Structure 1
Amino acid sequence: MTLDPTFLIVLTISVTILGLSKGGFAGIGMVSTPLVAAFSDPLTAVALMLPIMLVQDVVAVYLYRYDFDKALLAKMIPGGVIGVLAAYLLASSVPEWVIKAALGAVSLLFSVWQVILMSRGVPEIPARPRHDTALGVAAGAAGGFASAIAHAGSPPFQIYVMPKHLRKEIYVGTSVMFFASLNLMKLPSFAALGFYSRDILQLSLFYVPLAVASSWAGSRLVRTVDPRAFNFIITLILFFVSFVLLWQAYIDAVA
């Protein structure tokens, strides 16, 4: 892992964006991991962000400890285990350029999904479709895989949960509990892959105060800044970064 000034500036920007996302600019955190990955290897980028997210999860879980849908989590979390395990098996058995290509592809799909959300909203499906349990497990697996590769598991979660028209507090709380569970699942995987050296942990913990401060700033700025416009700008950045990652993967593959 290179700790040159450019990398540290990018990491600072990424952690700030992640904090703003937790503070109220929902969705913009999607760019944090791909942005760091463009200046390091992709798994190190995910590993660096994970301890920061776990600290933020503690606060979020406490705030929504009474507001979540247990039945939905009972379907999605087992799928999440499958997705995280699949990502671990992929990461442990393929070259780095494959992971970078997967990260670029997931980031590209995420940015396209955000554009669809902004223009059309979530595609409507029956609130209680046939084979709902299987759909919940599949959504959990897809969310777990995308989360483990790029911290970008929101689209499968949204596709499955939003059409159920939960109360806002229940929807947010269910999201908090699901992704907090995924983040805990990812920790042993990255430890097994050898990504939690002392240097990485120290660097992650160093940025925790910035993440907390930017979350607080986000909760204030969201009242004066149009989140939709801000989200659109971040989506454009992610769209560009995803192509950078795919190009880097191509160069590494043919080298």
Structure 2
Amino acid sequence: MITDPLFYVAAIPAILIVGISKGGFGGGLGMVAVPLMALVISPIQAAAIMLPILCLMDLAAMWSFRGKFDRSLLKVLIPAALIGILIGALSFRYLSEQHLKFIIGGIAVLFTLNYWLRPGSNTPRQPSTLRGGFWGILTGFTSFSVHAGGPPLNIYLLPLRLEKSIFIGTTIIMFAAINYLKLIPYALLGQFDSANLSTSAILALLAPIGVRLGYWMHHRINQTWFYRICFGFLFLTGTKLLYDAFTG
């Protein structure tokens, strides 16, 4: 198990932020954990430590939002995400983390600016199998690589203007499917050694606390502010990814 105190100074707030995000805000800040933990350990090890914790958070979040999801959207998104995971696993040794962060960060920032600046952007958009498939593949791909699937999924779901509990529940089930599917290639790539798993077990104690805090906050913010916060998270995460890409 990792014993460096500096690691836990970074990891504990990271786990709580991710739990709050998953439990109440659509996972928009879910990508912050790996960058924070990577200040002390390698990004690859940070991603491996986070995955079992994310799986536990998904279970807690699904219980909180049970029965609240859009089945028709998931029928398109989950199979597409599986394709993205396979692409991520096959290209694991060829694409750098900086490449991935640049691509998804640029898309997230441009999309948010378009939403804020383009007249009429608040009009709900209709679901599309083509768009859902594309963003589902990109969600699976980026989630596999750096646990940064939130921005591409939000790019597709936010314009649909779903009722906020349906939005959150759909997002939770989507990432639960992705994260449990990722366990197989992560194990095959040798990411789950005893040090990583024991560290995950210690940090996992914080997972339900963060999720419940997010659920509590979710029911105390109205829908207008909810979407403003989500788009703000999307912009911040995109900006952070771009920063990491250029500085890396």
Q: Does 2:158 match 1:159? A: no
Deviation (angstroms), 1:50: 1.0
Secondary structure class of the residue paired with 2:68: coil
Structure 1 Cα separation of the partners of residues 208 and 146 of structure 2: 21
Q: Which residue of 1 aligns with 2:6?
A: 6
Q: 2:185 aligns with which of 179, 185, 189?
A: 189
**Displacement after TM superposition at 1:185 (Å):** 1.1
> Aligned equivalents of 2:45 and 2:209: distance in 1?
23
Q: Using the alignment, how far apart are the partners of 1:187 and 1:155 within structure 2?
A: 21
Report the Cα offset of residue 5 of structure 1. Answer: 2.9
Aligned position for 2:126: 127
1:17 is displaced (CA, Å) by 1.5
Give the match for residue 78 of structure 2: 77
CA displacement at 1:82 relative to structure 2: 0.9
Identity %: 31
Matches of 1:81 and 1:237, distance apart in 2: 23
Q: Mark the CA change 1:35 to 1:245 in structure 2 (over 3 Å): closer, same or farther.
A: farther
Q: Hey, what's the Cα distance between the residues in 2 that align with 1:59 and 1:36?
A: 23
How far has the Cα of 1:99 moved from its partner? 2.9
Distance 2:234 2:158 in 1: 22
Partner of 2:209: 213
Q: Is residue 31–residue 234 contact of structure 1 (8 Å, CA) maintained in 2?
A: no
Structure 1: unaligned runs, 5 residues or longer: 249-255
Deviations, residues 65-91 of structure 1 (Å, cap 9, x unaligned): 322222211111111011111111121
Q: Distance in 2 between matches of 1:229 and 1:67?
A: 20
- The answer to which of 161-170 and 193-202 deviates more is 161-170
Change (3 A) 1:230 1:38: farther
Equivalents in 2 of 1:137, 1:176: separation in Å? Answer: 18
Q: CA deviation at 1:124?
A: 5.7
- The alignment status of 1:201 with 2:170, answered yes or no, reads no
Q: Is the 8 A contact 2:109 2:238 kept in 1?
A: no
Contact 1:24-1:219 within 8 A present in 2 as well: yes
Partner of 1:101: 98
Q: Which residue of 2 aligns with 1:55?
A: 56
- Tell me which amino acid in the other structure corresponds to 1:90: S
Greater CA drift, 233-242 or 28-37: 233-242
Secondary structure, aligned partner of 1:207: helix
Distance 2:23 2:247 in 1: 32
Judged with a 3 Å threshold, the aligned counterparts in structure 2 of structure 1 residues 69 and 24 are, in CA distance, closer, same or farther, namely closer
How far apart in 2 are the matches of 1:46 and 1:111?
21
